[in-house]
């Protein structure tokens, strides 16, 4: 069991090392599970152990977990990368070639909310392109349901909202 779990960890580190943006749990799981490399349970165990050993960092926005490799993770991968088969590396390369644009777009529009100190909720909406902030907007809303709805709609409509803002302001 230890050897396959080590391979799953190396696959995750390799994936995170090959991109210059964080990957979501869903993106990593999608690749690993679609290829049939392991089960969801074993994958989550590998991710948890990588976090515990500080080889990857995790952050959570709304109900999505985002992972990025740490310097220690890069160093560890450099020692053991040869234990990942060329076939798996090729599968990862193809996966990124086919999905990198969609993956970046998923990370470009992010919204989260928190309870306001005065009343209601504050929703922070951001839209980025290549780590450059196009929009960073905080909106006050009266209820948690409204805050949640804004977060969902921001993901779907952020590009249209950005274009309308530019049209209105120019």
Asked if residue 50 and residue 6 are part of one domain, the reply reads: yes
Structural domain count of the chain = 2
Q: CATH number of the domain that 67 lies in?
A: 1.10.10.10
C-alpha 19/C-alpha 31 separation (Å) is: 14
Q: What is the pLDDT of residues 116-162, one digit of tens each?
A: 998 999 999 988 876 678 889 999 999 999 999 998 898 888 888 88
Q: What is the pLDDT of residues 3-46, one digit of tens each?
A: 888 999 999 999 999 988 888 898 999 999 999 999 999 999 99
Asked if residue 80 and residue 47 are part of one domain, the reply reads: yes
Q: Reply yes or no on whether the pLDDT at 1 is more than 50.
A: no
**For residue 50, which phi and psi values (nearest 5 degrees)?**
-65, -40
Put simply, whether the predicted model's pTM sits higher than 0.75 gets the answer: no
Instruction: Among 50, 69, 84, give the residue marking a domain's end.
Output: 84
Report the pLDDT value the prediction gives residue 61, as an integer from 0 to 100: 73
- Structural domain of residue 152, as residue ranges? 108-169
In a domain, 92, yes or no: no
Which runs of consecutive H residues, i.e. helices, occur in 18-143?
25-34, 40-52, 71-80, 86-108
């Amino acid at each position: 069991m230890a050897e396959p779990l080590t391979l799953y960890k190396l696959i995750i580190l390799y994936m995170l090392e090959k991109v210059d943006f964080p990957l979501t749990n869903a993106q990593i799981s999608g690749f690993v599970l679609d290829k049939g490399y392991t089960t969801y349970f074993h994958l989550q165990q590998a991710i948890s152990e990588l976090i515990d050993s500080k080889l990857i960092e995790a952050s959570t926005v709304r109900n999505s977990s985002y992972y990025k490799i740490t310097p220690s993770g890069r160093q560890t991968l450099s020692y053991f990368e040869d234990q990942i088969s060329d076939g798996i590396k090729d599968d990862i390369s193809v996966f990124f070639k086919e999905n990198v644009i969609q993956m970046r777009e998923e990370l470009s529009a992010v919204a989260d909310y928190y309870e306001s100190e005065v009343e209601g909720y504050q929703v922070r909406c951001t839209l980025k392109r290549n780590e450059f902030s196009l929009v960073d907007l905080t909106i006050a809303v009266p209820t948690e349901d409204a805050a949640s709805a804004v977060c969902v709609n921001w993901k779907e409509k952020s590009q249209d909202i950005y274009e309308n803002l530019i049209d209105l302001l120019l």
